[in-house]
Structure formats: structure tokens, C-alpha cells
Structure 1
Amino acid sequence: MIRPGLLRALQNSSRTTLATKPSLRPLLLRSMSATANGRAKPNLPVADRMHTGRAMAQDVWSIYNAANLPADCINLGQGYMNFSPPQWIKDAADTALATTIANHYSHPKGRVRLREAIRDHYSPEFTNLGRPLDIESEILVTSGANEGQYSMFTAFLNPGDEVIMFEPFFDQYLPSVTFNAGVPVYVPLHPPKGDSDKPTSGEWTIDFDELRRSITPKTKMIIVNTPHNPVGKVFTRSELEKIAALYDCLVFDDKEHVRIATLPGMWDRTVTVGSAGKSFAATGWRIGWLIGPPALIGPTLAATTRIVFCTNSPLQEAAAAGLEQANKRNFFETQRKEYKSRRDVLLSAFNRLGLRYTVPEASLDGRGKDFKASWFIAQELGVSTIPVSEVSTEAYIRFAFCKDEETLKLAGERLAGLTKYLA
């Protein structure tokens, strides 16, 4: 546990001044501004939706970015990799860029090759269907997972419809809901009880009575993010079955292990969200996809066509190559082992410091504690993290271990500088 002495120490630091948590109030635009010749001109009034869901607030990502941090700061806050995609995927991108047709618009549904690769990769999991996924009506390629879920909200949310999110939650969910006139409803994941210094993320629990009370006639959707971001919890089959039993509307199943869409009666009301960015260390490519029944994919296709029309065409070819080759190259199993090793490098640093943390069962993040402490660690020790208080009432720090081991070891050496502040 980080003691109060850590926070007091910053006040005496020669390098920086303790920063209080920045205001998250919306930054309102002036209604009038002066031109160069002194004449006033009206500014367009900002839409009401921009004042909901913290859309115009200073977000944590802009606070904890390279411009505000020491030049040599190690970024363990944002969940992007500091290593390249596999060479065979980059080669596929080069090949696509050299092909005329791949440099032009794809079909709004996505390039056929990628939809076929998604079908072949996911169909074995959807044994409840008794057939392969249909690439024409059950798979939609999107401009990243974020755009996919945004288009889904656009297609199905009416003003006042409620969307249940397990708190803490991935920060993009909130504005995506409120921009589409939805109402977020928060159901907490409760942290582990007891004296264990190293609980697993699976020990974060849902109070199903709380969930039951949160479901109202206005409830339209529930977001099930498993493995959970930022906690790293993998929802068990039993937990997913209880969610399915309580809820009879639309569900987002983001990632795996047990897909709620494969449970009895859930296929027809579940959309599964996937992403090539995190899968292949290519977060800047913005290639995602949705899998679901035609009744849900069809309206979402209409929405995404009006929002972005189509997704980056040549990189769809590269993502297709990634899915086609991944199992042949044992890529995902190797990746799991590598991430476990990276996670353990970071946890070893925490152990040496005697810090309490949650051991993630999956995902790319570990957790520790508080906003001021996070700023202190970045400024004094040169390791950037993200305070989870941005998306939760609990004060935690997120450490992303999707970096190479050399970087994580250096971060561990720097974090050892906390020793003198822990008492």
C-alpha cells in the first residue's frame, strides 16, 4: 500500500509540485469571440450532447501524455504496444498497398477476405449455431472496435434508453452512450475482501442483487467486457449465465473466454466485438469487427455506412492475413506466454516494493493506487500510469504491461525509487 508519506514527499520535491486532480468540468466555449479587426463574430453553439458524459472535459489521456510528462518517461498508462506487429502481417500490408484494388473503398461490410478470415477464426466457438458464421449478414468490419460499438449504439439507442456498464469501465463506453442519447447505469465490480496483498482479478465480484435492481423497463443494453478492462477479470460461465438469466435485451460481449453469445438463448441478442489492433500489436490500424445475428448486424451496417462508409481497405487485407496465419504459426498461444512473462516482470517489481495489487487473469493491465500518486510517480520516477478514478469511484492506478520486457524491467528499476517514500 502506498502510504501518505509518498504524497507528502512530493511537496518537498525539487523537481515538481504536487498536482491536484484536474477539474473534469466541461470546458464551455465562449458564445462570441473577437476577430483580428475587433469585430465580433458568433460561434456556433455547442450541441447539448457535448456537455454530457464528460465529452468536453479534460480527459485523463490528455493529462498523462508525452507533452506533460518528462521526456524519458516510460508509458505504462496507455494500452498500446511499444513493439511492432509480426513481420508476416507487415508484409501482408505491404503487399496490399502495392495492389491497386486494395487501395480503394471496400464494401461497407468489409473486404471479403477479412470477413472470411473472421468466419473461419470464430465459427468453431459458435458451435451453438451448428454452422459457420454468414459473412454477408452476421459479420461487419468496423473502423476499430470503438467505432463498431458506437455504430451499434447509434442503431439501437433511443433517447432515455439505459445501458448497464460494470464499473470501472473502458472510458469510451460513456460518451458513446451519451452521444446517442442513452443513459449510463453503473453496476460496480466489488474489489476483493480480506487481507490478501495479491488478490486475483477473478476475486472482483458482481452483486447480482444490485444488477437485478439496476435493470428497469428502460434498460436496452448491457456491456460485458471480458477479459475486463481495466481490472483484467475473466467472467466465469456461472457469472455469464446469471447475467443472461437476469437480462433479456441486447448484450455486448467484448472479447472472450466464455462467450455469452454461445450460451442458450443468447445468440439472438448478443453482439461480439473484436479488434485486430490489440490482437496483432497494431492499435493504430483501427480494424475491428462485430459478430451477431442479422437483426442486429443489419441496422448497425446502416449506421456505420453513414458514419465512416468503410474501413481502411489495405489494412483489412493485413488483418485477414493475421487471422489466417495466427493458428498456423501458433501465434496466440505464444503471445499468451509472452504476456504472462511481461506481467510477471511488473508484478515482481510490485512484490519487491511490498505493494498491494490485483493480479490480472487476462487483459494487458495491472492495478495499484491513486491519482496524486500516479502523477508523482510519473514526474519523480519517470513511469507513467493511469489513475482508474477517471472511470470509477475507487482510487486505483492502472499499469499496462503490453510493452517489451526490457522496458518493463527498466520501469521496475525506476519504481524501486518508491522505497524511500513507503513507510
Structure 2
Amino acid sequence: MLSTCLRRESTHLRRYSSLAKPITLGFRRTMSSTPVPGEQFRPASRVASQKQDVWSIINEAATNSPTQPIINMGQGFFGYNPPKFITDAAKDALDKVDCNQYSPTKGRPRLKKAIAKSYSPLFGREINPETEVTITTGANEGMLSAFMGFIEPGDEVVIFEPFFDQYISNIEMAGGVIRYVPLQPPKNGGTEVSSAGDWTVDMAAVEKALSSKSKMIVLNTPHNPVGKIFSKAELQAIGDLCVKHNLIILSDEVYDRLPFTPFTRIATLSPAIAARTLTVGSAGKNFYCTGWRVGWLIGPANLIHYVAAAHTRICFSSVSPLQEAAAVGFEKAESLGFWEQSRKEMMGKVERFCAVFDELGLPYSKPEGGYFVLANFARVNLPQDYVFPSQVADRPRDYKLAWFLIMELGLAAIPPTEFYTKENMWMAEDWLRFAVCKEDDVLEGAKERLRGLRKYMS
């Protein structure tokens, strides 16, 4: 046995001798050696892709850019702390014994009651905190729990393009099959400023995507990355289709406290639509604390029951002290005027930042909610002899634009073709997504760097 191990080790070392430093062969080394990825254990197909994801490409480029410090308007995290009444609540929670132990799997009663009280007026009915609310480890785990709770292998789920990229892996992990329906971009979006509301839904395409295997449809309103708030008419049409075809609606409304235009919740349109709707929320988006990972779902008891059952098997319970702090946030936000202040401040950041696009004559899609802005860079001419690395060279133009901005201007943005299927990437290849949830001085710095584009514009 020992000689067999040594022969295998020797063969392995010869094969990879150019990659390894000389070592002394021996049984102890054989037992502790690290296998080459993929050499010994085959990964599951859901994680086997070798294609580098957008987040690592952008972050690595930002690290290696000659222009430092980078101004990061890529990933959608806040550049400032939650308000003091929230952070004080988190600190206070750490001094409570029960807040440092497991919470009930469906969430801390105080938080569920606070959410039910805050959202009942918005839903136009009394929400039962015990049966119609469940707390999850961030909105993303909440959506995974919804998929795991209802989607079985072969079930079909309809989503809109562009999509939040986590939808894809979450649905596929549950064995679901995705049917895509693209939002139609503004006809003049490449030449003039448009509204995010001009990204439209082709209802005929939605119905065409449905089949006898359809189980669920996923909405995102306010939408990331477009900033669109689905109109009441659009939601009614989608809801009617879901009733007709007996579909569950998973409505991702994590930016619900940041609407700049009238915002309709699909669960409020009719009892029949409400009976099939799960609404997703996020303390991270509501209270400027994306790292807290506190989310929730609101919906009818017969749906919430199975979401909570899946959540129990995924991570059992969520972070106790931060649930307690989020509960305090909901209890105090209304009386302190926090929701309205937050909305006005974000609208101001959008206007402050977009002024540079007006100045440069670059079209953009003015968001109706949330904190993302899509800007169109069709007028920006990338140098023909510019050398892009292999992980960018074979991707759509928006990746090259994003790389160029990082390397030449020191400004990070996200290429939105990452949120499209290959067939529809053409819709977004001239756009970039910017997150404006940053301090005002950061926004001003970003604007100054964008002015460096003038020499590349036609």
C-alpha cells in the first residue's frame, strides 16, 4: 500500500513539476497533499462553470487599476452607515442574552410583529405576524427558500430580463427550468434621456413563455438594474395571467421604500392575486445595512408555511441581534420620518449624479425607484488598439466599457449584459449600471472622473 501511494505521488509530482517547488516524498506528504481542482473530485454542474463572474472581474480590475483609489459605483452596497437609531439598537441587542442565542426558525416574534404592523397599511389588510411573515437570512436566502419550497425538477419559472443574477442559480439549484421574457428597452434610449418606465413588458411574450409545466413567475419592482416600477396595469395583466394559469408570484420588492413614482404592490390588486403572492423584503436595503442579511417574506399562510420549512433546512435560523435591531428600526422609522427622508435623499443622489450625463450628452434611463442608474455609452469610442484581457475580450461591449473606465478613469461600474441571456445581450451592450447609494463627495468624484470621457466621445 505504501509503495502504491508513493508511486502515485511521484507520478502526480512529475505531471505538475513546473508548478510545484521541490519537496521530500513521504507518506505524510501524500496524505496531506492538496488535489488539483477537478483532478480528483468532480464538482456539481451548478458550480462547475469556469467562466469568471462579473463581480470577480470588476473587483480584480479595480484592485489592479493604475488609477487609485478606485471610486466604486459598481456593487450596490451603501457608502454610509445606517441611522444612529438603528446602530444603537444593534449595540443594545448584543447586551441581551436571548439576542445572542438561536432565534425561532420563523424569526423573532418582535420583528415579525413590527413588519406586520408596518406593512399592514401598505397591503390594505391586517397581516398575521405568526402565519403570514417569515424571517430569512437576507432576501436572497428568502427567495431560495421560496424556490426550494415549491419548485421541483422540471417545473418552469418565468423571469424578466435583465434579471438579478442570483435568481438563476437559486432556481437551478431547486431543479427548476427558467423561461425568460425580456423587458423591451426604450426605443430612443441610445440617443436621449428616457424613463425607466419606458422599459416595457410584452404581455404576449409572457403568455407565450407559459406552459403546462409553469409553476412560478418572478417580479422585481422597483427593478434592479433598470430602476423600473411596474405600473398597476402591467401588474394587473401579469396577475391575471397567474390566476388563469395557476402560478405562484414571487415579488421581489426589496427597494420598496425607495419609490420616486407611484408604487403598486401586486398583492394588493385582488384577493385571487394576493392568494398566490409571496412578497420579498430586505432590512439591508431599507436601513442601509446590506451586510446584516436580514430579509423576510410576506404572504398567505399556506405559502409561507412551506417557505419557512425550506428555510429551516437551509440555515435553521437567522442572525438574532440584527433581527432585534431591525425590529426597532421598523418600530421607530415612521415616527422619525425616516422613510420619507430616505426616499428624498436617494432621489437627490440620482439627480446629483445624472447631472454629469446631461453635461456630457450621454443618454440615461432615469430610475423610478431604487438606487441604480443605467447610462448609455454608445457615443464613447473605445481606442481600436486597446488591449483587453482574455476574460473581457470575448465578452460584449459593456464589459470592455467597464474595464476601460476602471483602468483609465478609476471608476467602477457594472456591465448589465451579465443579467441577460446570450440571445438578448445586444439590448444592453452599450449600457453601464451605476449604484448611487454613496456619499455625495464620492458622487462628485465619480462625476469628475467621467468628464475624462470627453476625449473619447464622438
TM-score normalised to structure 1 length = 0.88
Residue number in structure 1 paired with 2:267: 261
Q: Does 1:315 align with 2:353?
A: no
- CA pair 263-422 structure 1, distance change in 2 beyond 3 A: same
Matches within 5 A, 1:302-341: 302-341=309-348
**CA-CA distance at 1:68 after TM superposition:** 4.2
- CA pair 289-68 structure 1, distance change in 2 beyond 3 A: farther
Task: Look at both structures and tell me which one has the larger radius of gyration over its CA atoms.
Answer: 2
Q: Whole-Å Cα distance in 1 between the matches of residues 12 and 195 of structure 2?
A: 53
Matches within 5 A, 1:185-264: 185-194=179-188, 197-247=192-242, 248-255=246-253, 256=256, 257-264=263-270
**CA-CA distance at 1:49 after TM superposition:** 2.9
**CA-CA distance at 1:399 after TM superposition:** 0.7
Residue number in structure 1 paired with 2:7: none
Residue number in structure 2 paired with 1:301: 308
**CA-CA distance at 1:47 after TM superposition:** 1.7
**CA-CA distance at 1:46 after TM superposition:** 1.2
Q: 1:161 aligns with which of 133, 149, 155?
A: 155
Deviation string, structure 1 residues 189-216 (Cα, Å, up to 9, x no partner)? 0011137510000000011111110011
Residue number in structure 2 paired with 1:172: 166
For the residue of structure 2 that corresponds to 1:329, the secondary structure is: coil
Deviates more, 1:207-216 or 1:256-265: 256-265
Do the aligned partners of 1:148 and 1:290 also contact (CA within 8 Å) in 2?
A: yes
For the residue of structure 1 that corresponds to 2:180, the secondary structure is: strand
Do the aligned partners of 2:80 and 2:288 also contact (CA within 8 Å) in 1?
A: yes
Q: Whole-Å Cα distance in 1 between the matches of residues 291 and 68 of structure 2?
A: 22
Q: 2:374 aligns with which of 354, 367, 370?
A: 367
Q: Does 1:401 align with 2:408?
A: no
**CA-CA distance at 1:101 after TM superposition:** 1.0
Deviation string, structure 1 residues 251-308 (Cα, Å, up to 9, x no partner)? 0112142111111111111100000001111000000000011111111111111111
The number of residues matched between the two structures is 386
Deviation string, structure 1 residues 7-30 (Cα, Å, up to 9, x no partner)? xxxxxxxxxxxxxxxxxxxxxxxx
Residue number in structure 1 paired with 2:395: none
Q: Whole-Å Cα distance in 2 between the matches of residues 321 and 33 of structure 1?
A: 58
Q: 2:364 aligns with which of 345, 350, 357?
A: 357
Residue number in structure 1 paired with 2:415: 387
For the residue of structure 2 that corresponds to 1:234, the secondary structure is: coil
For the residue of structure 2 that corresponds to 1:409, the secondary structure is: helix
Q: Does 1:67 align with 2:68?
A: no
Q: Does 1:272 align with 2:269?
A: no
Q: Does 1:420 align with 2:455?
A: yes
Residue number in structure 1 paired with 2:392: none
Matches within 5 A, 1:112-191: 112-127=109-124, 129=125, 132-191=126-185
Do the aligned partners of 1:33 and 1:43 also contact (CA within 8 Å) in 2?
A: no
Q: Whole-Å Cα distance in 1 between the matches of residues 366 and 12 of structure 2?
A: 51
Q: Which runs of 5+ in 1 are unaligned?
A: 1-31
Do the aligned partners of 2:186 and 2:199 also contact (CA within 8 Å) in 1?
A: yes
Residue number in structure 2 paired with 1:47: 44
Q: Whole-Å Cα distance in 2 between the matches of residues 45 and 193 of structure 1?
A: 46
Do the aligned partners of 1:145 and 1:273 also contact (CA within 8 Å) in 2?
A: yes
**CA-CA distance at 1:168 after TM superposition:** 0.4
- CA pair 297-33 structure 1, distance change in 2 beyond 3 A: farther
**CA-CA distance at 1:134 after TM superposition:** 1.1
For the residue of structure 2 that corresponds to 1:386, the secondary structure is: coil
- Following TM superposition, the consecutive aligned residue runs of length 4 or more in structure 1 with deviations greater than 3 angstroms are 32-42, 66-71
Q: Does 1:88 align with 2:85?
A: yes
For the residue of structure 2 that corresponds to 1:64, the secondary structure is: helix
Residue number in structure 2 paired with 1:24: none
Deviation string, structure 1 residues 95-152 (Cα, Å, up to 9, x no partner)? 000111100000001111100110011011222x4xx211111100000000000011
- CA pair 413-293 structure 1, distance change in 2 beyond 3 A: same
Deviation string, structure 1 residues 148-195 (Cα, Å, up to 9, x no partner)? 000111111111111111100111111001111111111000011137
Q: Does 1:342 align with 2:340?
A: no
**CA-CA distance at 1:67 after TM superposition:** 3.2
Q: RMSD of aligned C-alpha atoms?
A: 1.8
- CA pair 123-105 structure 1, distance change in 2 beyond 3 A: same
For the residue of structure 2 that corresponds to 1:358, the secondary structure is: strand
Q: Whole-Å Cα distance in 1 between the matches of residues 68 and 302 of structure 2?
A: 50
Deviates more, 1:335-344 or 1:193-202: 193-202
For the residue of structure 2 that corresponds to 1:222, the secondary structure is: strand
| Aligned amino acid, residue 285 of structure 1 | W
Residue number in structure 2 paired with 1:109: 106
| Aligned amino acid, residue 243 of structure 1 | I
Q: Whole-Å Cα distance in 1 between the matches of residues 188 and 311 of structure 2?
A: 46
